[in-house]
Amino acid sequence: MSIDVLLVDEDSDVLEIVQTFLEQEDDLDVTSEADPETGLEMALSGEYDVVVSDYKMPRLDGLELCGELRDRDRSLPFLLFSAREPDDVRPAADEAGVTGFVQKGTGTEQYSELAEKIRAAT
């Protein structure tokens, strides 16, 4: 059975790369969305098992997106995938109800870590 992942990031190049790596995993089916407000509506549709979002986005950042989801559906796992330092984000992320955090970096190990966190959260 596959895990349906909603990936939200305003950078379409990042979306493409992350989706490509995650879909190399047999059990992950990824849908990507560049507009965080559309991503919120998609997440509320009930079609996804987990949301993975960038932190810094225009109009609605990752923490605001998580907060909106938590106001309406507390059970949907929400992972931040951000270039920010974990210690800089963790207090606000915990307050918003973020399930987990993976730091973006160079190399491909970040995608394996993200895939494992997705599995653990669902």
Q: How high is the pLDDT of residue 33?
A: 97
pLDDT of residue 74: 73
63 and 36 Cβ atoms separated by less than 8 Å: no
* The predicted structure's pLDDT at residue 17: 95
Q: Distance (Å, rounded) from C-alpha 106 to C-alpha 62?
A: 21
55 DSSP 8-state letter: S
Residue recorded with tokens 């993976």: 102
According to the model, what pLDDT value does residue 20 have? 96
Domains of the chain: 3-113 (3.40.50.2300)
Question: How many of the other CB atoms lie within 10 Å of CB of 122?
Answer: 16
Other Cβ atoms closer than 10 A to 112:
15
pLDDT per residue as tens, the chain (122 positions) = 899 999 999 999 999 999 999 999 999 999 999 999 999 999 999 899 999 999 999 889 999 999 999 998 778 999 999 988 888 888 899 989 999 999 998 888 999 999 999 999 99
Beta bridge partners of 82: 103
Burial class (CB in 10 A: 0-12, 13-18, 19+), 80: buried
Q: What is the pLDDT of residue 38?
A: 96
